[in-house]
Structures are given as C-alpha cells and as structure tokens.
Structure 1
Amino acid sequence: MPTYDLPANHEYLGPVLWSPAGKPPTWWDSLPTDRPIVYATLGTSGGRNLLQLVLNALAELPVTVIAATAGRSDLKTVPANAFVADYLPGEAAAARSAVVVCNGGSLTTQQALVAGVPVIGVAGNLDQHLNMEAVERAGAGVLLRTERLKSQRVAGAVMQVISRSEYRQAAARLADAFGRDRVGFPQHVENALRLMPENRPRTWLAS
C-alpha cells in the first residue's frame, strides 16, 4: 500500500516485529563459523514439500543452513549442512545470516531487512508476491514463485545474493530507513492513541 497521500486517520509506524518465545535449540551456540549462514523458514503457507526442496537445493552449497519447520516435522531427510528446529527466534536467526529464504511474507522479510540481511522470497500467494516485488525493486532480494520452483533456481538465487554485495548494501539502506522509523516508536504510538478521536476509526499501517 502506498505510504504517501494517506488519509488523515492513518498513521505510519514502520516495521512491527515479533518472534516466538522460548529457548533456542541446543545447536544454536555451536554452529560452524567457516561458511555463510542461510536462514530458511517457509511458515505454514504453501506445500509441505517446499522446505524439503529448499534444503535439498542447498545441500551441496558451501553454506550452513538453519531452518524452522513451523511445526511441520515431516522432513524425509536433513542434509549434513542443515540444522533444523520446529521454531527459531526469527530476529536473531535473521541477524546472524547472510541471506534469509522465506515465503515472502511481511513478518520474516521485515525481520531480515531490519537486520540488513537480503531476502529470497518463495512466494505462493498475492500478498507475498506484492511484498517481494517491492523488496526486489529495492534491490534487497529475489522473488521466486512456488509454482515454478526448481532446486537449481533456489541454489542459484542463494549464491547470487551471497556473492553480490549490492544485495547486502540495498538491505542495509532499508535497515537504516527502518531504524529511523523505530526511533521513539513506543512514544509515537502512545501519542497517537491519546490524540485519537473516540468517534473516528483509525488505521495502523505496518511496513
């Protein structure tokens, strides 16, 4: 949604972030440090075999993969370079990664971009496509389509993003912009709520 010429009852807040509570997996503090880390999570949208396809595609690459299944623990195989858990702290996982592979939804892309990490979005529905089109236009990621997904395309996109510094630079620019939005975020919300007319609905927009 465009963030210019907004109606008077709209407020722009910037990114709204969330990660599940809980302890990280036992392997969290002992990951290899000699290879780039790829954080892969596709949530609960799309086919159940997509994460397996992604893991298989990255199996022979010089990367370490950390993957969250979102409770879908039906992977047939876990490659030797992959570490898997049902859930991971998304912000922390994104921050320690060279690239994030996700479904292109707003939450995970924002977790990545706030950390200055580029995104590969495996988009399967309209809002994911639109979100990733914006990320791609900004130069901070690559849009892949679930209906055309091939292992070679996933592997190629990951190596392309890791090897070309312009993706990281574009993600860093977005991180700077997000950082400016987040300055004084709690106070901004408090002020806006205090000034909100009781008889007038107000719409809140996340990035």
Structure 2
Amino acid sequence: MSKIIVATPPIPGETLPMLRLARLLAARGHQVTVLAGSGYRDAVERAGMRFVALGGTADYDVAEIMAERERRALPAGPASIAFDWTHLFVESVPDQHRSLQGLLADDPEQYLIANVLFLGAFPAAMGAPGPRPLRWVGVSVMPLVHGPNPGPMGMVPAGPGEDQAAADAVFAAALGAVRDRFGELLHGLGAVGEVAPLLDAAILGPEATAVLTVPGFEFDRPDLPSSVHLVGALPAVDSEGWTPPAWWPELDGRRPVVAVTQGTLMNSDLSQLVEPALTGLAALDVTVVVALGGRDPAALSVPVPANAHVSRYLPFDRLLPLADVFITNGGAGGVHQALAAGVPVIVAGTTEDKPANAARIAHHRLGATLGTATPSASAVASAVTTVLADDDIRDNVSRLAKVYADHDAVGLIERLTLG
C-alpha cells in the first residue's frame, strides 16, 4: 500500500475522471487522499476515501466564473481560452500550492497524481520552499497540446481554408500573457527559473504525464517526449445497483440507437444540442436516448418525440454498448468512452478541448463534426444519416476500440507513479 494524493481543480469535466481514478487506486489497496473543490466532499467520503478541500480562491465555482459578464462577451477562440486559463487555473496557483503544502507538511511520504490543470505542484518543483511529493505524475484529460506547432494538436485548429500558421500565432500570443501571469505568481512564491509556455509546462512539468487517450485517436507525434505516455481511457463508472427504466428493452437492436448528451457542465441551455437532436431525429427510424447530465427533463422546451427517451441520468457503461451513434458537445471523457465502446461520435462544440477532439475525429474518420455548438435540427439529422451509412467509419471505430481494450489506464498510471 502506498499513500497517494489525487489533486484536481474544481471543474466537473476534470474532477470526475480524477475521482474515478482515485476510487480505482483505492480499490487496489492504496491510501488515497483527494484534494479537490469542497463540493466533492460527499462523493469522496461516500467512496471511503479521505477528502481535503482546496483553500481560498482555489475552491471556486466554475459556473460563476463562466457566467461573468467579461467571459460571456468573449468569442470562442484564443481570447476565451486565455480568460479561462487565467481565471480557472493560473490565479488559483498560490492557494493550490498552500493546500498541497499542508498535506505534505503533515506527511511528506506521499505520491502526487494531479490533473495537469492543477498547477499547484509547480512552485515547490521549481524551488519554492516546502516539501515535495515522492513523485509527481500528471494526468491529462484533454488532448495533447504540447509541441512547437499546436496546429491540430492544440485547442483552436484552423478551419477549412484558414491559415494554420496565423491561427497558431494568435493562439500563442493570447496564451503568452497567461504565461507571464503564471510566472509572476510562481516567482512570488519563491520559485526560480524560466517558465515554459503554459501548454508545454502542463504536460512536461510533472516527472511523468499520463494522457487519457490512445494512439490512433491522437495525431502522430514522433517528437513526443519520453515522459509523456498515452495510457488509454479510464473504465466507465460502474453502474452496479442502477435500475434500468421501463423502456430499456426497446434498445434491443431492432433499429439504430442514437445516444445524445450535452455533458454535465455546458448543459444549462438545452436548445444548443439536445433540442435540435430531438427535433431533427424525430422522423428518422432510430431510437433516440438523451442523458441530460443531471438536468430535469422538464427543462426541455420542445416535445419529446415518440422515438425518443429522455432521462436526468443514464450510466454510459450500460448505454454505450447498445448505441450505434453518440452525439456530444465534445468533452474528452464521453468521446473516449464512446470510441472505447466501438461507437462513432458526432461532435458539436467550440469551447475548451472540444474543437481539438472534433479535429481528431474528423482526421481519423471516427464520426462527424458539426462545426458549431448550436447545430440546426437538419444538420444533426444529416450527420446521423451519413454516419450510420458509412461502413468505413464503423470499421475505423471498431479497430480503435481494440486499441483501447489493449490499454489498462489505471495500471499504467499506478506503475508511472510507484515505479
């Protein structure tokens, strides 16, 4: 048994995979302490693990930050990404550092497995006073963004007919100011040395980094550093004890099943993706299953058609093996779970890592991309019709599902951490 701190910023899409990893490590006999936002205390303690809340500004509500007037006024792209990196990750570094230092001061004989967007391990690693963990391993939920030319590896790949070099320059300039602020905070805590470009630092700063992806989904990276490992996807949450709804037997393969979700964070406005999907697919000979990520079905402003079922929550480990197409706004967790289950993916998303995931799906022909977070009903219907009829897409996804099956993400992360 080893003592492991699992640390993560309080963002659902980043925290939930880390909590799943923490539970799986605890099940292997390790003593796990979760350092996360205070809203996750109950979930962690119910799972039998020790929980410590982040302190000060590190314990924020991501929905409040994303709803700020300044943030809402920014267009999707480099400017909004720079705002998010600054306010969600960089400004909380001092309080993340102090929270982590408190745990290590109590017991320095602990390993650290941190989401790569938890930047609070950098100060001590760069010479600031205080104890360091036995080993620091990063876990990346987002796609690989390290490299001299972010291009399709980054979060803002150029669109058709656009100049990728120009897009890269705008992206780099926007994040340059974020790096300057990161360096200012680090040096204020006593760190020394030059700060790397932020996206490189997040991936290359830890002693080893596990990226929750596989070869075949990522772009070819012959320059990938030896400290970076593609470890596969985490297994889906175990749904033991879940009772299927009365309509579940309809998913018996007699007609294609289209699973739809808007995720757990960007689902406040269901008119963006869920409602166009319900409307557009109503006339198709498919069964539509919508998981609302915790939202009440009463929030829908369109009628639920006869060929659709809508639920507040559905476990993906039960749903995806029965699906023929997965429609999502493009968060990495759902994308990887679908592909690992052998299900083609249709992406509609323009923020965070979603364009990068969409670029990989398009490049490897693993589904389709809609190019917008607010597709029309007809665009959704057309994409589903196209994907269902494309044998090459299904073959590509089937081959990739075997690659996922060959990777044991938890075991690999365990070995990277403990040796």
Same fold (TM over 0.5): yes
So what's the TM-score if we normalise by structure 1? 0.84
Q: Is the 8 A contact 2:348 2:373 kept in 1?
A: no
With a CA cutoff of 8 Å and minimum separation of 6, indicate the structure with the bigger relative contact order: 1
Counterpart position of 1:202:
none
Pairing 1:84–2:306 present = no
Match of 1:72 among 295, 299, 312: 295
Pairing 1:61–2:284 present = yes
* Number of residue-to-residue matches in the alignment: 193
Deviations along 1:151-199, one digit per CA (max 9) or x if unpaired, are 11110000000011111111112112212223xx44433322212xxxx
Structure number with bigger Rg: 2
Look up the equivalent residue of 1:58 and give its one-letter code. Answer: L
Pairing 1:118–2:341 present = no
**SS of the residue aligned with 1:174?**
helix
43-52 or 126-135: which moved more? 43-52
Match of 2:270 among 48, 66, 73: 48
- Residue 89 of structure 1, CA deviation: 1.0
Q: Is the 8 A contact 1:39 1:65 kept in 2?
A: yes
* Aligned counterparts, 1:1-207, within 5 A: 1=144, 4-19=222-237, 21=239, 22-31=242-251, 33-43=253-263, 44-45=265-266, 47-50=269-272, 51-73=274-296, 74-76=299-301, 77-146=303-372, 149-182=375-408, 185-195=409-419
Structure 1 CA distance for aligned equivalents of residues 250 and 373 of structure 2: 36
- Segments of structure 1 that go 5 or more residues without pairing to the other structure are 196-207
Pair 96,191 (structure 1): closer, same or farther in 2 beyond 3 Å: same
**SS of the residue aligned with 1:146?**
coil
Structure 1 CA distance for aligned equivalents of residues 395 and 314 of structure 2: 26
Q: What is the identity percentage for the equivalent residue pairs of Structure 1 and Structure 2?
A: 32
Structure 1 CA distance for aligned equivalents of residues 347 and 234 of structure 2: 19
Look up the equivalent residue of 2:270 and give its one-letter code. Answer: R
Q: Is the 8 A contact 2:238 2:317 kept in 1?
A: no
- Which protein is richer in strand relative to its size? 1
Structure 2 CA distance for aligned equivalents of residues 94 and 132 of structure 1: 19
Pair 39,4 (structure 1): closer, same or farther in 2 beyond 3 Å: same
- Residue 20 of structure 1, CA deviation: 7.1
Structure 2 CA distance for aligned equivalents of residues 151 and 27 of structure 1: 24
Pair 14,31 (structure 1): closer, same or farther in 2 beyond 3 Å: closer
- Residue 5 of structure 1, CA deviation: 3.4
- Segments of structure 2 that go 5 or more residues without pairing to the other structure are 1-143, 145-218
Counterpart position of 2:18:
none
Counterpart position of 1:201:
none
Counterpart position of 2:163:
none
**SS of the residue aligned with 1:14?**
coil
